[in-house]
Amino acid sequence: MFLHLSEYLQFIFATVIQFYGGYEFYKSSLKSLKNKVADMNLLVSIGTFSAYFYSVAVLFFKDLFPESMRHLYFEASAAVITFVLIGRYLELKTKQNATDFMKKLLSLKPDKAIKLVDGKEEIVDAISIQKGDIVLVRVGDKIPVDGIIIEGQTEIDQSFITGESKLVYKKENDEVLSGSVNKLSVIKIKATKDAKDSVLNQIIKLLLDAQSKKPQIGRLADKITAYFVPTVLIVSILVFDLWYFLGYPLNFSITAAISVLVIACPCALGLATPITIVNVVGRGSKEGILFKNPEVIEKSEKIDYVIFDKTGTLTEGRMRVEDAIIKNPDYLPLLISLEKGINHPIAQAIVNFKDSYRNLEIQDKQVVVGKGVIGFYNGNKIVMCNVQLLKERSIDLEDEFKEFYEKNKNLGNTVIFGVLNDKVVAAFSISDTVRPESKDVVKWLKDRGIKVVMLTGDNQKVAEKVSKETLIDQYYHDLTPMDKYNFIKSLKEKGFTIVFVGDGINDAPAMVESDIGIAVETASDLAKESGSIILLKSDIKGVIKSISLSQKGLKTIKQNLFWAYIYNIVGIPLAGGLLYPFFGILLNPMYAGIAMSVSSITVVFNALKLKYTNITKNF
C-alpha cells in the first residue's frame, strides 16, 4: 500500500516538474522546430517526455505491461529537468559576471541633463542633447555629452576611459567626455557632438558588437552543432533498436535510448566560443582595451612581426616646438590657424606654440596624409608641411632655412615648414620623447621570437634616435602611409602574420592591411578607427596585454571545444550501454542529466578564468 502511495506521490511531483519546470524547454523546442532547427531543448524534451509518459502508462495501465516492464522513470525525468535548470542558472550567473564591466558602463549613462536655453535651466533627457547645446554640470553630476568647457574649471573622474583613478584638471576650452563625473565645481560645457554619438555610447556599441561576433573556429562549431541534434536522435533510435532486437528487455532499451538523448550536449559545443569571447571582451574592457573584432583572437596564435608607427606610439606624442624661425610675426596666426583642428601631435604642438593668437578662418583646408596641410585665406595659399612636400612642389629653401633644417635633423627633431604662396616663411623644430615603457615592450616581444620593426615618416636621424632608445634593430624612415601599407602587404604575401600598432586614423591603410591592427588612441572618435583593437590608455603595455589576452582566449576556446567533443564522443556510447556487455554498467538517465549539466558548467567556468588570469606575466 505504502509503495503504491509512493508511486502516486512520484507522479504528482514529477508532473509539476515536467510541465512547470520543463515549460521553457518545450516552448523553445516548438519555436526551433518552426524554424526547422533542432537544438538541445528538443533532446531534453523528447528524453524527459519519453520517460514521463512511459511511467504514466505503467502507473495507470499496469495490466497492459508484462511484470518485467513495469518500471517507473518519474525520478529520472524530474532529475534531468532539475539538473539542466541548475546548470542553466549557473551558466546565466557566470555570463552576468562576465559582463559586469558592461553594466558599469551602462550605469555611467546619465538619464537627465540641465540644458541652458536663453539663460534658463531646463531638465531634459540626456540622450536628447545635440551638438551646439549648452549644458550645466553641477558637482557630483555625470557629464551627459562630449563637449568643451566654456565656463569654469574643475577636476573630473574619467577612470572609465583611462582606468586611472587620479582626478584630471580641466579648464576652459578643454575637452570633457560623456560619463565622466564632475568632482570640484560647477561648469558649463558646449556639446561637440550629439549625445547618442558620445564616446561612452561608442564604447558600449563596440563592446556589444564584439561580443556578438565569433572567430572562424566558433562558426565551425556552430555548423557541427546544427547537424549534432538530428544525429543524436538517429543514434538514440538505433540504440533502442539494437538492444531490443538483441533480446534485452524493453525497459532496458528505453533506458539506454533516453540516456543517449539526455547526455548528448550540443550546449557545451555552442557555449565554447561565445562564453570565451564575452570574457575576453569584458576583461579587455577593464584593462582599457576594446576588441572591435574578436576574429583577431584566432589570428594571434602565431605572430611573426609587430610593426610600430613612431609618433604617438613608441613616443609620447606630446610634441613641443623647441625652436622656430618666423620671417614675419604676422604670419604666425595664419600658420597656427591652418593647423587648428587637425588631429595629429605635430599640428597640436604648433597650435600650442603660442598661448594666445588671432584665430583666422581658413578655407578649403586639405590634409595631405603624411606630408602636411594646405588651406586658403583671402586668396592666399598657406601650407604647413615637411621637406618631402617641399620637394614634390619644387619649393626652394633659403640658406637660413637649410641650415635650420640640417641642424635640427641631426638633433633628431622633426622640422615643419610654413609656406605662403609657394615661399617658405617659417620653420619649426619639433621634438618628442620616447615612452618610458617602449623599451620593455619591445624586449618582451623580441624575447618571444617576434620580429619588431619601426616605420616612420620622419627623417633618418629621428628614426635612428628612437630605434636606439627602444632597442629596435629594423627601422624604415621617410615613409608615406602608402609606403607603410606596401611594406606590410609584401610581408603578408610571404605568409607572415603581422600586427601593426599605430594611429587608427592616419595609419588607416597599414592598419587595415595587417592581420591585427592595434590603434593607440585617446578615444576621440572610436567609430572611425581602423584598428581591430583599440587601446584607450596612454600606455603601449596594452599591446602586450592585447596579444597575451587574445592568445589565452584562443587557448581557452580550444580547451572548451576539446572538452565538448571528448565529452560527447565518450559520453554517448557510455549512455547507449557500451559497457553493459562487459561490466554490467548502464547509465541511468538521471546521471546522464547530471553529466550533461556538468559538461556545460565546466566550459563556462573554464572561460571564466580569463577574468582573473595574469595577462602580463614575466613583464
At 147-176, the pLDDT tens digits run 999 999 888 887 666 555 567 788 888 888
| Prediction pTM value | 0.68
Question: Other C-beta atoms within 10 Å of 545: how many?
Answer: 22
* Region of poorest pLDDT, from 38-42, 421-425, 517-521, 608-612: 38-42
Enclosing H/E stretch for 222: helix 216-245
**Is residue 357 pLDDT above 80, yes or no?**
no
Query: Using CA atoms, how far apart are residues 8 and 572, in angstroms rounded to an integer?
Result: 32
**Is residue 504 pLDDT above 70, yes or no?**
no
Higher pLDDT, 267 or 460: 460
Query: Using CA atoms, how far apart are residues 232 and 259, in angstroms rounded to an integer?
Result: 11
- pLDDT at position 523: 42
Domains with residue ranges and CATH for the chain: 2-100+209-275+553-611 (no CATH), 297-309+435-531 (3.40.50.1000), 320-431 (3.40.1110.10)
Average pLDDT over residues 481-491: 88
pLDDT tens-place string over residues 460-469? 888 888 899 8
Strands 423-431 and 414-420: antiparallel
- Over the range 53-66, which residues count as b (16 or more CB within 10 Å of their CB) and which as e? ebbbebbeeeeeee
Average pLDDT over residues 407-417: 87
Which of the residues are catalytic?
309
What values do phi and psi take at 439, rounded to 5?
-60, -45
- pLDDT at position 3: 42
Confidence of residue 225 (pLDDT cuts 50, 70, 90): low
**In whole angstroms, how far apart are CA 105 and each of 200, 332, 490, 519?**
8, 43, 41, 21
**Residue percentage of the chain with pLDDT more than 70:** 84
Query: Using CA atoms, how far apart are residues 449 and 442, in angstroms rounded to an integer?
Result: 11
**Is residue 445 pLDDT above 60, yes or no?**
yes
- pLDDT at position 159: 66
pLDDT tens-place string over residues 277-300? 878 888 888 888 888 777 788 888
Sign of the C-alpha dihedral computed for residues 514, 516, 520 and 522 taken in this order = positive
* Region of poorest pLDDT, from 305-319, 566-580, 591-605: 591-605
**Is residue 487 pLDDT above 90, yes or no?**
yes
- The number of CA neighbours under 13 Å toward the Cβ of 242 is 14
Confidence of residue 305 (pLDDT cuts 50, 70, 90): very high
Average pLDDT over residues 555-570: 84
**In whole angstroms, how far apart are CA 252 and each of 4, 45, 62, 76, 148?**
23, 20, 18, 14, 75
User: What grid cell was written down for 182?
Assistant: 564632475
411 contact partners, CB below 8 Å, separation of at least 6:
429, 431, 461
What values do phi and psi take at 370, rounded to 5?
80, 0
CA angle, residues 324, 325, 330, in degrees to nearest 5? 105
User: What grid cell was written down for 12?
Assistant: 504528482
Average pLDDT over residues 81-87: 74
Average pLDDT over residues 106-132: 84
**Is residue 527 pLDDT above 50, yes or no?**
no
User: What grid cell was written down for 523?
Assistant: 578615444
pLDDT tens-place string over residues 177-220? 888 888 888 999 999 888 888 777 777 776 666 555 555 665 66
If we measure between CA atoms, which residue out of 15, 107, 118 comes closest to residue 59? 15
Say if residues 372 and 416 touch (Cβ distance below 8 Å): yes
User: What grid cell was written down for 444?
Assistant: 618582451
User: What grid cell was written down for 264?
Assistant: 548528448
**Is residue 575 pLDDT above 50, yes or no?**
yes
pLDDT, mean over the chain: 81
- pLDDT at position 213: 58
Query: Using CA atoms, how far apart are residues 475 and 58, in angstroms rounded to an integer?
Result: 81
Query: Using CA atoms, how far apart are residues 76 and 73, in angstroms rounded to an integer?
Result: 5
If we measure between CA atoms, which residue out of 351, 361, 363 comes closest to residue 321? 351
**Is residue 438 pLDDT above 50, yes or no?**
yes
Q: Three-class SS of residue 173?
A: coil
- pLDDT at position 498: 93
Q: Quick one: the chain helix, strand, coil %, rounded to 5?
A: 55, 20, 30
Sign of the C-alpha dihedral computed for residues 173, 175, 178 and 180 taken in this order = negative
Residue 68 per-residue DSSP state: G
Q: Three-class SS of residue 478?
A: coil
9 contact partners, CB below 8 Å, separation of at least 6:
none
